[in-house]
Amino acid sequence: MSRTARRGIERPPAFIYREQRSGLLRRKSESLALFCDEIPLQRLADSFGTPLYVYSATAIRERLQIFRHAFRRVPHTICYSVKANSSLGILRLIGAAGCGFDVVSGGEMERVLRVDRCAAKRVVFSGVGKTSEEMTAALKVRILLFNVESESELWALAECAARSKEKARIALRVNPDVPANTHPYISTGLQQHKFGVPIGEARKLYAQAAGNRYLEVAGVSVHIGSQISEVDPFSAAMERVADLVRELRRDGHRIDYIDAGGGLGIAYDQSESDDFEVSAGEYAEGLLRPLRGLRVHLLLEPGRAIVGPAGALLTHVLYRKTNKDKKFVVVDAAMNDFLRPSLYEAYHEIVPLRFRKQDALEKVDVVGPVCESGDFFARDRALPVTSEGDVFAILDAGAYGMALASNYNTRPRPAEVLVDGGSVRVIRRRETISDLLRGES
pLDDT computed for residue 184 by the predictor = 47
Backbone angles phi, psi at 212, to 5 degrees: -100, 125
Spatial separation of the C-alpha atoms in residues 383 and 332, rounded to whole Å: 17
pLDDT computed for residue 273 by the predictor = 56
pLDDT computed for residue 377 by the predictor = 98
What is the residue-level pLDDT of the chain in tens, covering all 441 positions? 444 445 446 788 899 999 876 655 555 567 899 999 999 999 999 999 999 999 999 999 999 999 999 999 999 999 999 999 999 999 999 999 999 999 999 999 999 999 999 999 999 999 999 999 999 999 999 999 999 999 999 999 999 999 999 999 999 999 887 755 544 433 443 454 556 898 889 999 999 999 999 999 999 999 988 889 889 989 999 999 999 999 999 999 999 999 999 999 998 886 565 789 999 999 999 999 999 999 999 999 999 999 999 999 999 999 999 998 899 999 999 999 999 999 989 999 999 999 877 779 999 999 999 999 999 999 999 999 999 999 999 999 999 999 999 999 999 999 999 999 999 999 999 999 999 999 999
Helices (H), 251-390: 276-288, 304-307, 340-344
pLDDT computed for residue 269 by the predictor = 82
Q: Going along 86-162, which residue ranges are E strands?
A: 100-103, 123-125, 145-148
pLDDT computed for residue 195 by the predictor = 61
Spatial separation of the C-alpha atoms in residues 231 and 233, rounded to whole Å: 6
Out of 79, 118, 160, 371, which one is annotated catalytic?
371
pLDDT computed for residue 21 by the predictor = 67
Q: What is the CA angle 191-192-198, rounded to 5?
A: 25
Spatial separation of the C-alpha atoms in residues 326 and 192, rounded to whole Å: 41
Spatial separation of the C-alpha atoms in residues 233 and 235, rounded to whole Å: 5
pLDDT computed for residue 20 by the predictor = 73
Is 36 marked active-site?
no
Q: Which residue, 124, 95, 131, 157, is CA-closest to 261?
A: 124
β-partners of residue 327 are 322
pLDDT computed for residue 92 by the predictor = 98
Residues 349 and 25: beta-carbon distance below 8 Å: no
Q: Who's near 209: CB < 8 A, 6+ residues apart?
A: 154, 158, 170, 172, 215, 217
Domains and CATH numbers, the chain: 3-56+309-437 (2.40.37.10), 57-308 (3.20.20.10)
pLDDT computed for residue 229 by the predictor = 86
pTM: 0.93
Q: What amino acid is encoded at 146 in this protein? A: F
Helices (H), 53-96: 57-70, 88-96
pLDDT computed for residue 2 by the predictor = 46
pLDDT computed for residue 182 by the predictor = 46
pLDDT computed for residue 19 by the predictor = 87
Residues 346 and 269: beta-carbon distance below 8 Å: no
